[in-house]
């Protein structure tokens, strides 16, 4: 291990990153910028071609990525390829592939992970370091990762090579900053494995590195996203209750948070992104005795948050009825197609779910989003002549909308506010029929 530690310290170790998406690409760039020669492996030839030409394929709202792609790739610090045989050159391999859940069973789908492990195992040499950054259900390192690597390589983790799990902690819009500044949890197969992985991460991170075992790292990553999901679900349940009672959930939230130790989150039209909709399912994928003493809080939070787009649809149906229209035949504009404000990431966007629901009612629905080049026309042009506008994402551009101007552009004056960014009284004075999540 001392030889590899020295090679990591002096940046002569050859590093490979498998998966050039939101996790792997910025990680590869960070390592290349730190002075490592990096091999980037991805099975998507289009993505590899883009990276090879110095083009960042994951959107234009990531500070610093475009410039790094242009210099680090073209100067040879990061070499992208579709050929897994390139892994034979690497002493350090980081696996950053997707780990989705099945849409029906909610069980982990590890097909991409297994393919990556097979490729690593076939090429791996004794003394190598393998780090899994992909989010994993608890017990996956023990049940899937180590057995797959052993079967493909004949090597034993902790004896013949070094194995660790350092689950990613990056958020779209802040990928490079997160790599530098967010503390990391490193689960080592052995303490020695974890310490060697920490040696690598210290080259690219100024934040704290917390060493633990693999299982604890697995649970920690899944639990931190389940925690947020449950808290969003609580805010949404309070919002639904307030609508029913005639109270304003946004005022309730503000007052709740005046009490020390309280930090109630904002309600909204659903939860999106690559992590929060799936990581709670990963957390409870292997429950053992979990449901003997737990009431399924994680499951209920997922159910409630997934149901919010349908609730927004009902708010819209009610507002259109007040205007004398039905959903069928109405023209509806969805403001915001990404899953949250300030970015163009559309993965698991609640807006997509709402658009599908609207289509099923016979409505004509389309989206606008200033962060997506295919949908970034002026918002005025997008809403002109529509029967309703549904605000799903709190982009700054939408916060600046003049409601009187909006009213003048619409054929039918209906506004549904899923993010609580508009004042209901101001909207009504502007002549709009207003509905909002959590509003009386």
Catalytic residue status for 221: yes
Residues 65, 67: Cα–Cα separation, whole Å: 6
Cα radius of gyration (the chain) = 24
Residue 276, classed as helix, strand or coil, is coil
Burial 160-182 (b: 16+ CB within 10 A, else e): ebbbbbbbbbbbbbbbbebbeee
Active site (annotated) includes residue 275: yes
Residue 111 has a CB neighbour count (10 Å cut-off) of 12
Rounded Cα–Cα distance for residues 182 and 179 (Å): 6
CA-CA distances (angstroms) from residue 189 to 64, 129, 158, 193? 34, 11, 6, 6
Closest by CA to 392, choosing from 332, 334, 347, 308, is 334
Of 221, 222, 242, 278, which one is the catalytic site residue? Answer: 221
- How does strand 414-417 pair with strand 433-436? parallel
Catalytic-role residue among 56, 214, 275, 278: 275
Give ∠ CA 184-190-191 in degrees, rounded to 5: 60
Name the residues annotated as catalytic.
221, 275
């Amino acid at each position: 291990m001392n030889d590899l530690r020295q090679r990591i310290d002096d940046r002569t170790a050859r590093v490979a990153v498998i998966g050039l998406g939101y996790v792997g690409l910025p990680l590869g760039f960070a390592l290349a910028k730190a002075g490592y020669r990096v091999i980037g492996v991805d099975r998507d030839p289009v993505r590899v071609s883009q990276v090879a030409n110095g083009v960042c394929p994951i959107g234009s709202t990531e500070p610093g990525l475009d410039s790094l792609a242009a210099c680090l790739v073209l100067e040879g610090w990061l070499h992208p390829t579709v050929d897994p045989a390139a892994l034979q050159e690497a002493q350090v391999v980081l696996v950053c592939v997707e780990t989705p859940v099945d849409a029906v069973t909610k069980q982990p789908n590890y097909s991409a992970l297994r393919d990556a492990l097979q490729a690593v195992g076939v090429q791996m040499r004794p003394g190598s370091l393998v780090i899994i950054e992909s989010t994993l259900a608890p017990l996956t390192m023990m049940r899937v990762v180590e057995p797959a690597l052993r079967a493909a390589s004949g090597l034993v983790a902790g004896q013949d090579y070094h194995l660790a799990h350092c689950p990613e902690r990056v958020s779209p819009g802040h990928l490079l900053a997160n790599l530098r500044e967010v503390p990391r949890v490193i689960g080592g197969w052995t303490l020695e494995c974890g310490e060697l992985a920490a040696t690598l991460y210290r080259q690219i991170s100024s934040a704290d590195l917390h060493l633990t075992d693999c299982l604890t790292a697995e649970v920690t990553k899944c639990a931190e996203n389940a925690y947020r999901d449950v808290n969003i679900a609580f805010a949404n349940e309070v919002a639904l209750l307030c609508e029913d009672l005639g109270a304003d959930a946004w005022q309730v939230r503000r007052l709740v948070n005046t009490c020390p130790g309280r930090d109630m989150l904002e309600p909204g039209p659903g939860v999106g992104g690559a992590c929060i909709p799936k990581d709670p399912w990963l957390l409870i994928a292997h429950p053992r005795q979990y449901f003997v003493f737990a009431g399924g809080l994680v499951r209920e939070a997922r159910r409630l948050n997934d149901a919010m787009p349908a609730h927004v649809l009902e708010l819209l149906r009610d507002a259109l009825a007040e205007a004398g229209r039905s959903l069928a035949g109405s023209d509806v504009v969805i403001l915001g197609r990404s899953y949250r404000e300030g970015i163009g990431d559309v993965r698991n966007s609640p807006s997509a779910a709402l658009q599908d629901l609207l289509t099923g009612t016979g409505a004509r629905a389309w989206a606008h989003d200033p962060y997506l080049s295919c949908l970034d026309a002026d918002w005025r042009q997008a809403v002109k002549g529509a029967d309703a506008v549904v605000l799903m994402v709190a982009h700054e551009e939408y916060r600046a909308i003049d409601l009187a101007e909006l009213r003048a552009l619409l054929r039918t004056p209906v506004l549904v506010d899923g993010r609580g960014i508009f004042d209901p009284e101001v909207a009504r004075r502007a002549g709009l029929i207003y509905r909002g999540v959590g509003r009386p």
